[in-house]
Amino acid sequence: MTCTPPATAATLDAVFFALSDRTRRDLLERLRGAEETAGALARGFAVTRPAVSRHLRILREAELVVERRRGRERVYTLSPARLEAATAWLDAYRVFWTARLRDLRDLVESLPDDDDEPPAPARTLAPRTKRKPR
């Protein structure tokens, strides 16, 4: 993993917006293995080729993919640096939840062990009676 500078709010907004769409996530998945031309990427999607181009533009603007020209074709490559920025942001919350789950475990383990006693019967409430209007 490379060392990337902390992401700005605008960077994170662009990355999470780009990742919020299923088609864009599928495009990133296809680019995980190898670079692809725009035409090859468009095949296999239930949307039009111009729609795939718009999705690729959003991924480019978020700097999740890099576009280069090869003759008349546009070739796309995954650019993982922005994904690392999003991962770093999410890691702060993983630490938070790990600590909270550890606290919960410690609390549960500190409770007395009542395995020998049967559970107390559930308390039911008596039905409410209707009041007469005054």
Domain boundaries in the chain?
A: 9-82
User: Is-contact 38 76, C-beta < 8 A?
Assistant: yes
pTM over 0.75: no
CATH of domain 9-82: 1.10.10.10
Residue 26 has a pLDDT of 96
Q: Are strands 65-70 and 36-37 parallel, antiparallel or unpaired?
A: unpaired
Residue 44 has a pLDDT of 81
* Spatial CA neighbour of 39 closest among 85, 74, 6: 74
- Structure tokens belonging to residue 10: 């605008």
- Tens-of-pLDDT digits for all 134 residues of the chain? 445 556 788 989 999 999 999 999 999 999 998 999 999 999 988 899 999 999 999 999 999 999 999 999 999 999 988 998 888 888 888 877 777 888 888 888 888 876 656 666 666 666 666 666 66
Could you tell me the end-to-end alpha-carbon distance of the chain, in angstroms, rounded to an integer?
Answer: 76
